[in-house]
Structure 1
C-alpha cells in the first residue's frame, strides 16, 4: 500500500488533538479566528475519513483489517497500541465528520460564543470518537472513551442555565459510574486472560480454563453494562432524554453519535469475541441485547407519545434508534446487521437535524406553549374570536416558517420510516432480513421473538408519526400565536445538508446496502481481523509498521 495512505489512519486522532491544543493558545475573544481554524480542521477531517472509507471499501471482504492494521511506535501486537481500519470503522468515522461539520456550522450563529473553549472541547470530542472507532485494544478504548466523556461534560454545560447544569450533573454522575464499571470489567478480563488487545483476546478466550470462565463472563458482563448505559438501554436510559433536551442544539446534535459508541463496541466485541469459535461462550449476551433492545423500543415509544416538549420527544427518538440497533446486534444475523448499519446512518442524521431544527422552531412559539396547549386539550378550552373582528383568510405563511415546516415534514418521514426517504429504505431492509433469516426456509420458521421485534419497530414508527404530527400541527398549522422566527442561513444550511444526505442515501440505496453488506460480512469473519492485527509485525527499531 502507499505510505501516505497507511499513515492516514492516525489522522482522525492526531488532527483534532493538534487543533484542540492549538486553539487553547488563542485568546477567547478572537471567536472568528478560532471558528475558522476549527471548521478548517473539521473539513480536513472529513476529507481524510472519506479517503479512508474509499480505501477500506476497495479491499476484499474479509481482508479489511489484514491490510489496515497500524502499530503505533512500530511495536508488534499485542504490545503495541494498534489502530484497525475496516468498513465499519470507516463508516463511523465519516458519520462523525459529517455530524461535526453540521453541528459546528450551526454553532457559528451564536453558540460557540456562549462559553469558553467551545472549539477546543469540540475537537477533543472528535479525537475521542475517532480513537474509539479505530482502536484495537480495550484499555485504549477506555482512554478514548474517557476523553470523549470529559469533552462531553464541558459541552453539555456550555451556555449555563439552571436546567442545563442540573441535567449536566446527572449526566456526569451516570457516566462516571459507567466508567467505573468499564474499568472493573477491563481489569477482570485482563486478570483472567493477561491481555486487552481485542484480537489477542479473541485467540485466548476459548483456551481459558473452566474454573476461570465464570470470572471472565462476569467481567465481560460488567463491561457490557457500561456500554449499555451509554447506549441508553432500558432501564438504564432514564438520564438521556433530559440531558439531550438540556444541551445546546449543536451539542445535542453531535451527542446523537455518542449513544452509537455503545452499539459500535457491543457489535464489534460480540462478533469478535463470542462468535462461532468462542466455545462455551459462543453467543454470550446475545439474548440480553435482543430483550433489552426490544424493551427499550417499547419504553421509548411510550415516551415519544407522552412527550409534549419537542426536545424530550427528540430524546426519546434517540432511544428508539438505540433500542432498534441493540436488538439487531442481539439477533447476530449478517443481513440484519447490514440493514441496521443503514438504519444507523439514516436515524443519526435525521435525529441530529431534528435537534437543530427544534431550536429554530421554538423561536416561533410562546414560552410555555406546550403546557398551554395540553391544558386546553384537557379542559376543552377554546379561543373565542370577537364578533366584530373578522377572521383573516389566506394569510401567507412567512418564508422562514415555510422552510422550517418543510424540513420538519422531511424529518417526520425519516424518523417514522415512511416512504420514500432513507428511513423507510433502512427499516425495510432490516425488517425484511429479520423475517428471512439465513438458514430458514419460510417465514413460518421465524421465532416468535423476531415477530415481536418486527411489530415493535413498526409500532415505534407509528408512535413517532403520531407524536410528531401532533407537535407539527400545534407549531405550524394551528399555533396559539403566529411568531415569525429570525433564522440565519448558517443555522438552516446544516439542517438542509443533513436532510439532503438522507435524500442521497435514498437515491444511492443500492450502493449503500452493498457497502453495509460487505461491512457486515467482514464482521462475521473474525479470523481476518485477528490475522490482520497479530500478523502486523515491525522491528522495534523500524519507523514503519509493515503489515504481513
Structure 2
C-alpha cells in the first residue's frame, strides 16, 4: 500500500485527534482553539478534494473502482471496511465546504457562547465523514450516534429558553430514531447473518420466502430511522423549530445533517433492493415517492405561511428533502443524477441563507418587524408624509451587500435560471419526463405529473416568501438601522454563494460527475466486487537466517 491508500481513513482520524487535542486547552484560550480548529478543517478540505480526485479516476475498464480500506486487515465481510466511491467522496467534499464557512462565521462571537464548541464541531465532522465512508450498517450506527451526540451539544450551544426547549425536543426525537435504527439492524442481521452492505446485497435475493417478510419489516424500521433525520412528513415536524432556534453557524452546518438520511437511502435502496434483490426488488420505492411528494406539499405550505426567516429556511429544507426522497423513489439513474446536483446546490444555498438570516435580522428589531406586518394589514397614514424625507438618502454599503446576498439566496432557493438551483430542478424534470428514453406517444404516470407540478410550485412558493420577507426587511416604511457586520461574518456567505455560482459555470462537468455517480449507484456490481474482493495487506517477508 502507498500513503495515498491511507487517506481514506484520514477524514475520520483527523477530526477525532483534533477534538481530543482541543480538550487539553483551557476554555479561556479561545484564539488558540480557534486556530487549531481552522487548520484542521482546512486540511480536512484538502484531503476531501484529493479523495474526490481518487474516486473519479477511471481504471482500465473505464470505470472508477471503489477504494476499500480494511481496518485491522480483516477481509470483508468479517472486518470493518471503509469504502470510497464517487458518492461518498462527493459528500465528504460537501461537508468540508460547509464546515469552513460555518466555523469562520462562528469566530465572530458564537464560539465563545458555550463550552467545548470547537471539540463538538470536530466530533460532528468525524461522525459525518464516518457515516459517508463506512461500508457496514453497524458502524453506520456508531458514526450516526457520534454525529448526533455532538449535534446535541451544538444545538444547545448558547442560551435562551426557546433554544433549550427546541433542543430537548430534538434530542428526544433523535434518541427514538436511534432506537428504531438498532431494532432494524438487529432484524436484518437475524435474517441475513451479516451487516456488511456489499455482502447484504449478495444475500438479500437468497433469503427464503418464510423470512422475507421479516427482512422487509426490518428494512422498513431502519428506513423510518433515516426518514426521521431526512424530515419526511409526518416525521419532520421537529425540524423547522429546531433549526430556527439553533445558533446561525450551527444551523448552517446542520443543513447537511438532514442529507445523511438522504445519503443512506440513496446508497441502500438500489444496492439492497435493486434489480437483483429477487422478491424484495423495489421495496419502499413507492413509499418514498409518495412520502416525498407529501413532504414537498407540507414544506410548500410552511414556506408560504412562515413569517420568521429561520422557519422559512427550515421549511425549505423539508421541500428539499421531499424532492430528493421522491427522486429516490423514482428509482432510475437519470433522476438520481439530477437529484445529486440539486442536493449540492440546495444544501449550499440553505447554509448561506442560515448565516445571512442573523445579519439581516439586525436591520430591524423585533418590534419593528411586528409593526411592519401590522402596517401591511392596516396601512399607515404617516407613510406619505415620511416619504419625502427619505428621498435622496444614500443607501449604506452594508445594506446593499446584505440585499444582494439576500436576493441571490432567493433566486437560488426558488430555482430561477440561470443559477444552479434551476439546473438541478431542470435536470430532475428532464429525467421525470424522459426516464428511459420515452418514444413519442408514450404516457407518463400520474405520480410523475404530480411530482413535476410540486417541483415547479415549490420554486414559486420560495420566490413569493423570499420576496415578501425582503420587502418587509429592506423596503418597509420603518426607520431601520444599519447593522454592524464583520468581514468574517459576510465572507462565509459570499463564499457559499460563490460556490453556487461555480456550480452554474461548471455545470457540464459537475453534471457529468453526477451522472457517473448515479450510474454506479444503480449498477452496484463494481461496488460489491470491490468490497468483497479487497485484498489484505500481506506482511513483509521474514528474514532468512544465513
Q: TM-score, normalised by structure 2?
A: 0.96
Q: What SS class does the counterpart of residue 164 from structure 1 fall into? A: helix
Q: CA deviation at 1:382?
A: 1.3
Deviations 1:277-328 (A, max 9, x none): 0001001100000001000111000100000011100100111111100100
Q: Which has the higher contact order (CA 8 A, sep 6+)?
A: 1
Of residues 389-398 and 160-169 in structure 1, the stretch that sits farther from structure 2 once superposed is: 389-398
Q: CA deviation at 1:377?
A: 3.0
| Equivalence for 1:332 | 331
Q: Kindly tell me: are residues 132 and 63 of structure 1, through their superposed partners in 2, closer, same or farther at Cα, counting changes over 3 Å?
A: farther
Query: Aligned partners of 2:383 and 2:522: how far apart in 1?
Result: 65
Query: Aligned partners of 1:121 and 1:316: how far apart in 2?
Result: 26
Q: Write out aligned runs for 1:136-535 (5 A).
A: 136-378=135-377, 380-384=378-382, 390-442=388-440, 444-535=442-533
Q: Does 1:88 align with 2:87?
A: yes
Q: CA deviation at 1:4?
A: 1.4
Does the aligned pair in 2 maintain the 1:62–1:528 contact within 8 Å? no
Q: Kindly tell me: are residues 116 and 388 of structure 1, through their superposed partners in 2, closer, same or farther at Cα, counting changes over 3 Å?
A: closer
Deviations 1:368-416 (A, max 9, x none): 44433333333x1315159699522121111111000000111011000
Deviations 1:391-443 (A, max 9, x none): 22121111111000000111011000001111111111111111011142147
Deviations 1:21-58 (A, max 9, x none): 10000111000000000000000000000000011111
Does the aligned pair in 2 maintain the 1:62–1:522 contact within 8 Å? no
Q: Kindly tell me: are residues 184 and 338 of structure 1, through their superposed partners in 2, closer, same or farther at Cα, counting changes over 3 Å?
A: same
Does the aligned pair in 2 maintain the 1:65–1:85 contact within 8 Å? no
Query: Aligned partners of 2:435 and 2:90: how far apart in 1?
Result: 24
Q: What SS class does the counterpart of residue 180 from structure 2 fall into? A: helix
Does the aligned pair in 2 maintain the 1:274–1:283 contact within 8 Å? yes
Query: Aligned partners of 2:464 and 2:363: how far apart in 1?
Result: 21
Q: What SS class does the counterpart of residue 120 from structure 1 fall into? A: helix
Query: Aligned partners of 2:352 and 2:101: how far apart in 1?
Result: 9
Q: What SS class does the counterpart of residue 70 from structure 1 fall into? A: strand
| Equivalence for 1:48 | 47
Q: CA deviation at 1:59?
A: 2.4
Query: Aligned partners of 1:389 and 1:450: how far apart in 2?
Result: 50
Query: Aligned partners of 2:399 and 2:189: how far apart in 1?
Result: 56
Structure 2 gaps of 5+ residues are: 542-546
Does the aligned pair in 1 maintain the 2:11–2:47 contact within 8 Å? yes
Q: How many residues align?
A: 541
Deviations 1:474-528 (A, max 9, x none): 1112252211000000000000000001111100000000100110011111111
Query: Aligned partners of 2:367 and 2:539: how far apart in 1?
Result: 66
Does the aligned pair in 1 maintain the 2:240–2:311 contact within 8 Å? yes
Query: Aligned partners of 1:455 and 1:201: how far apart in 2?
Result: 37
Deviations 1:433-473 (A, max 9, x none): 11011142147422111011000000000000000000001
Query: Aligned partners of 1:261 and 1:526: how far apart in 2?
Result: 20
Does the aligned pair in 1 maintain the 2:65–2:85 contact within 8 Å? no
Does the aligned pair in 2 maintain the 1:65–1:532 contact within 8 Å? no
Structure 1 gaps of 5+ residues are: 544-548
Does the aligned pair in 2 maintain the 1:193–1:204 contact within 8 Å? yes
Query: Aligned partners of 2:129 and 2:477: how far apart in 1?
Result: 43
Q: Kindly tell me: are residues 539 and 370 of structure 1, through their superposed partners in 2, closer, same or farther at Cα, counting changes over 3 Å?
A: same
Q: CA deviation at 1:132?
A: 0.2
Q: What SS class does the counterpart of residue 69 from structure 1 fall into? A: strand
| Cα root mean square deviation, aligned | 1.7
Q: What SS class does the counterpart of residue 391 from structure 1 fall into? A: helix
Q: Kindly tell me: are residues 336 and 51 of structure 1, through their superposed partners in 2, closer, same or farther at Cα, counting changes over 3 Å?
A: same
Deviations 1:330-385 (A, max 9, x none): 0011111001100001000000000000000001111244433333333x131515
Query: Aligned partners of 2:257 and 2:463: how far apart in 1?
Result: 25
Query: Aligned partners of 1:498 and 1:426: how far apart in 2?
Result: 17
